[in-house]
Structure 1
Amino acid sequence: MAEAEELGVATKRLRASDLLVPSRGLRLPRRVQTLLEVARPHLDLQQGDFLSHISAAEVLGLPLPAWAQFKPDDGGPVTAVVEPIPWGPKSGPHFREPGRFIHLSRPRNGSLPRRRGVAGHRLTIRDGDLTDLEGAVLTSVARTWVDLASMLPLDDLVVVGDAIVSEHERSFGPPRVPMVSLPELQLFVEKANGIHGVRKARVALDLLRVGVDSPPETKLRLMLEDAGMPVFVPNCRVDDALGRPVWTDLGCPEYRTCLEYEGLHHLSPEQQALDAYRDQRVSEAGWRQVKINKVDMKHGRKWVVARVVQALRKQGWRP
């Protein structure tokens, strides 16, 4: 706002209804929607500030639960908040929607950021903890994941972790490269003493698996592990009758049972044709397949586990 006044912009213009006031001294056009567009002015106001927690996670493209995703300011009252505060999907006066705020941090020896629409944090920053993306400074992928442990439930933290370490190379399509390899993330967490949330991060680290392609696959795998099911491996290879590989979302080689999570992209005619061919090859190889979708997941763990148990029993498993 000070820059605008120096350039001769009239005060009346700065108070116009087509501008948002995300915080004192800032004006943004109402068309602004992305987190990075809203965050940049905050970063420019104070040298040394950086994005962290769920704001860094979203800019990095990490899969957050809906309640934690950024929601552009609609012009309503959004106060400044500082730690400690309980974040989460729960309702009530003691919980806030973290997606309503830009999560802005400063080094531990600085003062807390206190601005309208900002959740302020102070962090101990080590070499390699910060990165730059499109000119914006934010916490690195590994540091962001550990910081998220102070905000996300364990299952959601594992979802993000699986996305970070996912890698595979199939007979079709380009190889998937991890944002941070599992060994690199393990080393980072091992040295993360003193970071808020590191204990939960260490628990989550043991639950991560390499090769997962989507958050529902992680949630499905965790359901089965929690229910004591046999081990299902992400991105499991099944060799068809001719020895050609078929890649399944989750597979249990011991009982030749595989699971496919059917998201919206499976509804296109082209994908349905590919799926039908895949299903035929899996069946001819002697594997039993279970298809799970969003409706199944909404029914809950008991429903999903029962479907998988039925398939495993037909393949010889006995609980």
Structure 2
Amino acid sequence: MPLVSASWAISDAAKTSSGKSFAQLTARGIGERWITLDGLRRVVEIRSVFPASGKLRRLLDELDEDLAYSGTERRVAIACRAAGIPVRLNQPIVGPAGKPVAQVDLCVDDSRLIVEIDGPHHWLPEVAAADRVRDRRLRSLGWTVIRFSVYEVDENLRAVVDEIARVHRQQQAA
């Protein structure tokens, strides 16, 4: 499906969808690369004012906040949100003294789950050692930390999201 056609379809769906289902549909479209934020923004500009245009503009603004982070992290966050996982990007984790102990790629507060997306520099011995120390510190604060390489995400985003969903459910049940 051409990106522009998918963007028009998403803007039409905004008229009849609930806020949550519309956000999930949009996030899935971006995560699956059926649409782009720029394409969707162009459709909104072309159509100007239409039913649910305000809802669509607010969603685009929210998704724009994610653009400051790596494309890989953003893809995982968007796919997780489409799967119903309330993930947040680039979050500080605060220790018992109220001081930040780490800035994490993705976190799911309600299950105390941290997801890190590692590029090749994480394979350097000194970086890997620092990651292990940091992960132990986060675990001591009650967080579960899982890591994926950028290559895992690029090769099989669905499997990565499925694993995040599995751990999220497991943590919620605990």
TM range (shorter): 0.5 to 0.7
**Of residues 92, 95, 110 in structure 2, which corresponds to 1:240?**
95
Q: When the two structures are aligned, how many residues end up with a matched partner?
A: 133
1:281 aligns with 2:137: yes
Indicate how the Cα distance of structure 1 residues 154 and 266 shifts in structure 2: closer, same or farther if over 3 A, else same: same
Are the counterparts in 2 of residues 259 and 290 from structure 1 also a CA contact under 8 Å?
A: yes
Greater C-alpha Rg: 1
Q: Distance between the aligned counterparts of 1:266 and 1:211, measured in 2?
A: 22
Higher relative contact order (CA 8 A, sep 6+): 2
Q: Distance between the aligned counterparts of 1:250 and 1:285, measured in 2?
A: 16
Gaps of 5+ in 1: 1-85, 89-152, 161-188
> What is the DSSP-based 3-state SS (H/G/I as helix, E as strand, rest coil) of the residue aligned with 2:65?
coil
Are the counterparts in 1 of residues 76 and 157 from structure 2 also a CA contact under 8 Å?
A: no
1:291 aligns with 2:143: no
Identity of aligned residues (%): 23
> What TM-score, normalized by structure 2, do the two folds share?
0.61
1:218 aligns with 2:77: no
Higher helix share: 2
Alpha-carbon offset, residue 287 of structure 1: 0.4
Are the counterparts in 2 of residues 233 and 251 from structure 1 also a CA contact under 8 Å?
A: yes
**Of residues 55, 61, 84 in structure 2, which corresponds to 1:228?**
84
Alpha-carbon offset, residue 260 of structure 1: 0.4
Which amino acid letter does the alignment assign opposite residue 77 of structure 2?
A: R
> What is the DSSP-based 3-state SS (H/G/I as helix, E as strand, rest coil) of the residue aligned with 1:273?
helix
> What is the DSSP-based 3-state SS (H/G/I as helix, E as strand, rest coil) of the residue aligned with 1:310?
helix
**CA RMSD, Structure 1 to Structure 2 (Å):** 3.3
Alpha-carbon offset, residue 310 of structure 1: 2.6
Q: Summarize the alignment of residues 120-269 of structure 1 with structure 2, pairs less than 5 Å apart.
A: 154-155=30-31, 157-158=36-37, 193-194=45-46, 202=57, 204-210=60-66, 212-229=68-85, 231-245=86-100, 246-269=102-125
Are the counterparts in 2 of residues 257 and 312 from structure 1 also a CA contact under 8 Å?
A: yes
Which amino acid letter does the alignment assign opposite residue 156 of structure 2?
A: H
> What TM-score, normalized by structure 1, do the two folds share?
0.36
Alpha-carbon offset, residue 206 of structure 1: 4.2
